[in-house]
Copies of this chain bind each other. A is one copy, B any other.
């Protein structure tokens, strides 16, 4: 059983391909009666014209780009996508978004899909774990324009990112400066490069202070809600109260929320007992149970810059040099953190 084509329809309707084509395209040059009949036959045969074939002749003029994010439900990413849309739309590009949900296969699938559908280019928040990057090389081979939202080792490509290390450093410095001495970092998923960069930043902050860094200050907690919530509970239950940290630097705002929830459960007050600092500044951070002190990544700007670079590459007839832009973060102090009073 093979696919039905325009030829079958033509034959069955007793007209020529050309006519069928005309009715598909709603051209007014077709006599209503034949038009209706052809339509009827199309319905009968359940004929679906193949877009790909239609586009071969004239096509390729649609302007569309794609963005592959890691989590459709994390506002950090959808806000970046909004930035992308903002710029892209202004240039006449439609943007479609796909989410890998942190699955590497999924990311691969989408890069293939985009290129094979002639989506003109892609912005990719890459999974960096297994360093499996054949699919990115493939894109390079076919000169498919793309920009990464995170550095990927081993490939030279456009990147727009933030300096995670510096961002965390700023936060830790603030904490230290405001008197905290028992600070821990609740790290993200081991597979994420963000996790490592942030750990690095945390560490560095100490090397620039009088406090000593110590491996126990890094606690692997993860970022999904259940996971982070559970790990936080565990962390505190196996500690005596006097060994509690006075400040927690969280991997991101999502984790911070789970941590807050757990602390509340444990009867630990924020910020009186413990200060919490998030990361990202998603739009909901300000309405958190306690409005969250956090490190703002300029999400809209990230999206816009990425889109700008991407579209430049798409429209350039020649190969452009690879760009790498690193955007600044901003430390936003809200109510989840405070200076430490002298010990009781």
Binding site for B on A (CB under 8 A): 1, 3, 24, 26, 39, 42-43, 46-56, 59-60, 62, 64, 66, 72-73, 75, 78-79, 81-82, 85, 94-99, 101, 106, 109-110, 112-113, 115-119, 138, 141-144, 257, 283-284, 287-289, 317-319
Contact = CB atoms under 8 A, between A and B. Distances in A.
29 contacts: A26-B138, A26-B141, A42-B142, A42-B143, A43-B143, A43-B319, A46-B143, A48-B143, A49-B142, A50-B118, A51-B115, A52-B59, A52-B118, A55-B116, A62-B113, A64-B113, A72-B97, A73-B79, A73-B82, A78-B78, A85-B99, A94-B98, A94-B109, A94-B110, A94-B113, A96-B98, A284-B287, A287-B287, A287-B289
A75 B138 CA distance: 34
Contacts of A319: 43, 46
A52 B62 contact: no
Contacts of A51: 115-118
A26 B141 CA distance: 10
Given A97-B96, A117-B117, A318 B62 contact: no
A2 to B, nearest CB: 11
B24 A142 contact: yes
A210 to B, nearest CB: 37
A92 B309 CA distance: 33
